[in-house]
């Protein structure tokens, strides 16, 4: 193999919406409400190898807006990406799939959430940036604790 074939490589092959859903269970009455809803956001990320050097990472963002006694809306977006990752040491692959790839996908998922919520008749939801490195480290610590328990 040539030296160039041994160089670490990382590239985005495709970014796409894998799944998108929106529920407005209390429409149309919910549009008459004046109270500010409580917004809750949940994140999940998963990566899998597709082929030699190709990986799919899916970032799922779930946003729920609730009033004290009812749900205004529930929005879920699964933003997918196919990444080419080659000649990376095995111990470095997990952080790339768990930190770098979700960092790339999050702005797309954030825009999709904002757009679909706005199309449903609500003000756009602007999600704050996420520190995926801190989330990754937190998950690693929890896994280590569970392994020692």
Residue 56 CA to residue 67 CA, distance in Å, equals 36
State the Cα angle at 44 between 111 and 67, rounded to 5°.
Answer: 65
Put simply, whether the predicted model's pTM sits higher than 0.85 gets the answer: yes
Segment 131-135 shows an average pLDDT of 94
Q: Where are the domains of the chain?
A: 9-126
Q: Are the C-beta atoms of 136 and 107 separated by less than 8 Å?
A: no
Sign of CA dihedral 106, 108, 109, 113: positive
User: Model confidence over 69-118: pLDDT tens digits?
Assistant: 899 999 999 999 999 999 999 899 999 999 999 999 999 999 999 999 99
Domain 9-126 has CATH 1.10.3720.10: no
pLDDT at 142 over 60: yes
User: Model confidence over 6-19: pLDDT tens digits?
Assistant: 899 999 999 999 99
């Amino acid at each position: 193999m040539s030296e160039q074939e041994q160089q670490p490589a990382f590239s985005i092959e495709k970014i796409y919406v894998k799944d998108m859903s929106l529920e407005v269970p209390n429409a149309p009455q919910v549009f008459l409400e004046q109270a500010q809803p409580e917004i809750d956001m949940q994140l999940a990320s998963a990566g899998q190898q597709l082929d030699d050097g190709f990986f799919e990472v899916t970032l799922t963002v779930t946003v729920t807006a609730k009033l004290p006694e009812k749900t205004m809306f529930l929005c879920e977006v699964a933003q997918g990406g196919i990444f080419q990752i080659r000649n990376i040491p095995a111990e470095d692959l997990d952080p790339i799939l768990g930190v770098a790839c979700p960092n790339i996908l999050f702005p797309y998922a954030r825009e999709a959430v904002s757009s679909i919520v706005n199309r449903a008749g609500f003000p756009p939801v602007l999600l704050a940036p996420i520190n995926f490195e801190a989330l990754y480290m937190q998950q690693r610590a929890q896994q280590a604790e569970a392994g020692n328990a």
